[in-house]
């Protein structure tokens, strides 16, 4: 019963999507603070015409007071470059900004923000599993955590105390996303399958009760009498 009730509770949380606690959407002021106020007129108007032929998508975004150009290739990789420089001068040895660049941007969010750190691939508060085309940094500003998508400089999540509580309630109960289990995928899979088996067995009790009710004879004392309409 304890297992079923906790699973139902986590399922209800999944339908609520955390809005019962607070929103994880950053405010317009926080978005503007991270972006800064760069000079968009500094970008040459014909810059897109000089991109590498293997670039399938290009994006310009503001981050930390600078304008970055994100170049995505057919192979799935990406390169970032400062758009204030020409394409020929672009530094293309870095796929993501380093923590120093992120720190400079997140200092504008609130006073006393801790140094940004890369988000672990797994964890109870992990924004998403790290992939080759994605990297996330977390800046802790007092009681609020900001997860920065280094691929395009956006604030992916804003986690205050209530949102972190939601992460524990939902991820741990519904998906067993405990660090000790996620680092052992075989054990985690075994526990999930075992618990699902217990849930299936528990659901069979309702089938048995219903089957017994259907098989009751007409003279069964427990059967309700037919009342004329």
pLDDT confidence of residue 129: 47
pLDDT confidence of residue 74: 81
pLDDT confidence of residue 93: 52
Map out the domains of the chain as residue ranges. 23-159
Are the beta carbons of 76 and 102 closer than 8 angstroms?
no
Other residues' Cβ atoms within 10 Å of the Cβ of residue 171: 19
Successive 10-residue mean pLDDT values, the chain, 229 residues: 75 66 79 88 79 85 87 81 62 66 84 80 50 74 87 85 79 76 84 85 84 71 53
- DSSP run (H or E) holding 67: strand 66-73
Q: Using N-to-C axis directions, what is the helix angle for 2-16 and 185-214, rounded to 10°?
A: 110
Q: How far apart are CA 68 and CA 92, in angstroms?
A: 12
pTM of the model: 0.66
């Amino acid at each position: 019963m304890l297992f079923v009730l906790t699973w139902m509770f986590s399922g209800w949380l999944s339908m609520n999507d955390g809005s019962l606690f607070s929103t994880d959407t950053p405010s317009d002021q926080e978005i503007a603070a991270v972006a800064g106020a760069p000079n968009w007129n500094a970008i040459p108007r014909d810059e897109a015409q000089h991109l590498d032929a293997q670039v399938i998508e290009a994006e310009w975004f503001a981050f930390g007071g600078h304008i970055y150009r994100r170049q995505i290739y057919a192979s799935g990789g990406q390169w970032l470059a400062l758009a204030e420089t020409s394409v020929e001068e672009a530094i293309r040895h870095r796929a993501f900004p380093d923590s120093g660049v992120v720190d400079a941007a997140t200092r504008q969010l609130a006073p006393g923000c801790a140094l940004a750190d890369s988000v672990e691939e797994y964890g109870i508060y992990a924004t998403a599993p790290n992939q080759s085309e994605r990297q996330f940094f977390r800046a802790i500003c007092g009681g609020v955590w900001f997860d920065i998508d280094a691929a395009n400089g956006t604030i992916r999540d804003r986690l205050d105390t209530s949102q972190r509580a939601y992460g524990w309630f939902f991820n741990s109960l519904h998906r067993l996303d405990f660090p000790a289990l996620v680092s052992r995928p075989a054990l985690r899979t075994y526990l999930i399958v075992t618990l699902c088996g217990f849930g299936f067995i528990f659901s069979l009790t309702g089938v048995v009760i219903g089957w017994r009710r259907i098989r009751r004879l007409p003279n069964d004392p427990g059967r309700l009498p037919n009342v004329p309409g």
